[in-house]
Amino acid sequence: MAVVQVACIHCQQTFNVVKNGKAETGHQWYRCKGCNKNFQLEYRYNGNLPGTHEQIIKMTMNGSGVRDTGRVLKISPTTVLARLKNSTHQQ
């Protein structure tokens, strides 16, 4: 049996990461006991990747439109709008 060391994508710890079920797509979920966050190593949709939300905000602040942002990041314009709406509620 092979053991694979998985590093948390949020805090980069390797010793506190445990398996935490599977997604509907069949990809493995992991949970970091250090920062208590869930993550996957592979995502099926680019809109769920870590850092996509920040890229959407940066592109919007630089004057890119919704459709242009979606085209560049390979996500739906509806996802871009939803992420922008959610970002205003967080501040």
Per residue in 15-35, pLDDT tens? 888 999 998 888 899 999 989
Q: Is the dihedral of CA 73, 76, 79, 83 positive or negative?
A: positive
Helix (H, G, I), strand (E, B) or coil at 20: strand
What pTM was computed for the model?
0.62
The pLDDT score that the predictor gives to residue 6 is 87
pLDDT digits (tens, 9 = 90+) for 44-83: 788 877 888 889 999 999 999 999 999 999 999 999 999 8
The pLDDT score that the predictor gives to residue 2 is 59
**DSSP symbol at 23:** -
